[in-house]
Chain A
Amino acid sequence: MGWLAGKTIRLVGESSAIAAALKAQGAALVAEGDCDVLVHVAAPQPARPVHELSHAEWRAALDAGLDQRFLQTRDFAAARRSAGKGGAVVYVGAPEQALGSDQAAAAGALINLTKTLGVEWARDGIRVNSVLTFDQGETLGNLVAYLASDYAAYVTGAVMGVGLDDG
């Protein structure tokens, strides 16, 4: 048994729990090139008072939390379409209100981007979901593995957390 047997997954960002769960369910992790699934993990950034952020710092947070996520997903989806195959995207990050205002903006944007792309690409067979959580443990790994798998074939545009404080 393996939810992800035969699937290739590109894991962008660091999460040992997610990497372990994907491998345990039979996925092959690839660093670049074609892949069936894109999992994008944004590292939590330190929260700072928003009025102390320079525009450049603000921009860097939005670039990491939103722009890079969108652009990489756009390229992933284009590759899947030209291959005539469906796929899955899972965004992982901190809860919307967990960190600074920069992250709140990026997370809010990501939430509605998830809902939008999940429908916009539905007929390409490409699903898009988000997990925004404080959890770094096995449940996060298993939840991401589930969302990446065909068991979640009817789950798209969904945004969820893991624990009580994830909002």
Chain B
Amino acid sequence: MPVPDNHIVAMPPPFEEPPYPADVFAGQTVLVSGGGTGMGLAMARAFAQGGAQVAVMGRSLEKAQEGAGKIATLGVRVHAMSCDVRLPDQVAAAFDEAEAVLGPVTLLANNAGANFPVLAEDISVNAWNAVTRIAIDGTFLCSTEFARRLIARGQGGAIVNNSAQYIWTGFPGDAHSAAAKTAQATMTRKMAREWAPYGIRVNAIAAGFFPHETSTAGRREGGTEVLQNMIPAGRTGSIHEFGWLSAMTCTPFFVALTGQVILQDGGESLRRSLMMPDYVPPRERAEGPWGWR
């Protein structure tokens, strides 16, 4: 159902008008995990708009390279690498490579994630491990590798984590991601406290629905238009506004910002009313029009 004409939908400025100057990150290098596609690519492009050099990390080197090509069009130096963020040796090697090519990494975007709707009883050990460890162990390994290097150099920096709007409510039908994304948010707060003395800031975006070509709903027949009306804001998010807020948390504009988890979901997670659609358990929903089987 389309959003009625008499509703007012707040819109962001276009991609060409970022909220910070083109040199706000000049001389700095950002490492973006999962930066080749989707939300990670949006983060990487936002950092590039501020003049950061970008190290793009992905499990698939091809995807990372493809994303790097899109980032390079913004006029910054880019380097693509393959890395499984669950493996400490690979993470350390990726930082070595990024710093050898681009220089010291002073900004980190932890975006790598896997997610797919599945009934809790159908989550295999492998699936559970994949989703939880990419987000939880991956964020731990990349953040600590990043922090150890900065602390050794006596240099400050900033981390932004891609969390999710369902971290406070749970996400029936997505148990692995519900657990993983909340772990990311709570470690954000604690790491911010631990690394404040070293000038390393840590924040997270609790992101709502920002459709892109690799998101689950992005593959729906008919695209994402039908989803606009379920969001209080009257639209799904534009992926560049997610990238901007992520990068913004790392700018000098927000120099004192740390330990914060900022909700950006168009009110989606806050929907509640006396009158709601009947509750449909995920098991029954799996087979229906909103299902995934």
**Could you tell me which A residues sit within 8 Å of B by CB distance?**
1, 3, 84-86, 115-116, 118-119, 122-127, 135, 137-140, 142-143, 146, 149-164, 166
**Could you tell me which B residues sit within 8 Å of A by CB distance?**
3, 7-13, 17, 19, 21, 192-193, 196, 208, 232-234, 237-238, 241-242, 244-245, 248, 253-267, 270-272
Q: How far is the CA of A1 from the CA of B196 in the complex (A)?
A: 31
CB distance from B207 to the nearest CB of A (A): 9
Residues of A within 8 A of B253 (CB): 138-139, 142, 146
Whether the Cβ atoms of A124 and B266 lie closer than 8 Å is no
Residues of B within 8 A of A138 (CB): 253, 255-256
Whether the Cβ atoms of A153 and B11 lie closer than 8 Å is yes
Known: A151-B241, A155-B245, A163-B259. A127 touches B12 (CB 8 A): no
Known: A86-B10, A153-B11. A162 touches B267 (CB 8 A): no
Whether the Cβ atoms of B257 and A123 lie closer than 8 Å is no
- Pick the residue among A142, A153, A158 that contacts B263 (CB under 8 A): A158
Whether the Cβ atoms of A125 and B9 lie closer than 8 Å is yes
Residues of A within 8 A of B13 (CB): 150-151
CB distance from B39 to the nearest CB of A (A): 13
Residues of A within 8 A of B208 (CB): 154
- Pick the residue among B10, B262, B265 that contacts A153 (CB under 8 A): B10
CB distance from B212 to the nearest CB of A (A): 15
Residues of B within 8 A of A157 (CB): 232, 263, 267, 270
Q: How far is the CA of A84 from the CA of B8 in the complex (A)?
A: 8
Whether the Cβ atoms of A156 and B267 lie closer than 8 Å is yes
**Additional A-B contacts beyond A119-B271, A139-B257, A164-B192 (13; CB < 8 A):** A85-B8, A118-B232, A119-B232, A119-B267, A125-B7, A142-B254, A153-B11, A154-B233, A157-B267, A158-B263, A162-B256, A162-B260, A164-B258
Q: What is the chain B residue whose CB lies nearest that of A159? A: B263
Q: Can you give 10 A-B contacts (C-beta < 8 A)?
A: A84-B8, A115-B270, A122-B233, A123-B234, A139-B257, A140-B256, A150-B11, A154-B233, A156-B10, A163-B259
Q: How far is the CA of A17 from the CA of B261 in the complex (A)?
A: 22
Whether the Cβ atoms of A160 and B260 lie closer than 8 Å is yes
Residues of B within 8 A of A127 (CB): 10
Residues of B within 8 A of A160 (CB): 260-263
CB distance from B61 to the nearest CB of A (A): 32
CB distance from B153 to the nearest CB of A (A): 23
CB distance from B159 to the nearest CB of A (A): 14
Residues of B within 8 A of A143 (CB): 254, 257
CB distance from A27 to the nearest CB of B (A): 14
CB distance from A136 to the nearest CB of B (A): 10
Known: A122-B233, A155-B245. A139 touches B254 (CB 8 A): yes
Whether the Cβ atoms of A123 and B7 lie closer than 8 Å is yes
Q: How far is the CA of A59 from the CA of B173 in the complex (A)?
A: 45
Residues of B within 8 A of A137 (CB): 256
Residues of B within 8 A of A118 (CB): 232, 267, 270
Q: How far is the CA of A156 from the CA of B262 in the complex (A)?
A: 10
Residues of A within 8 A of B241 (CB): 151, 153-154
Q: How far is the CA of A160 from the CA of B10 in the complex (A)?
A: 20
CB distance from B13 to the nearest CB of A (A): 6
Residues of A within 8 A of B258 (CB): 163-164
Q: How far is the CA of A85 from the CA of B10 in the complex (A)?
A: 10
CB distance from A157 to the nearest CB of B (A): 5
CB distance from A119 to the nearest CB of B (A): 4
Q: How far is the CA of A118 from the CA of B266 in the complex (A)?
A: 9
Whether the Cβ atoms of A163 and B256 lie closer than 8 Å is yes
Q: How far is the CA of A41 from the CA of B253 in the complex (A)?
A: 20
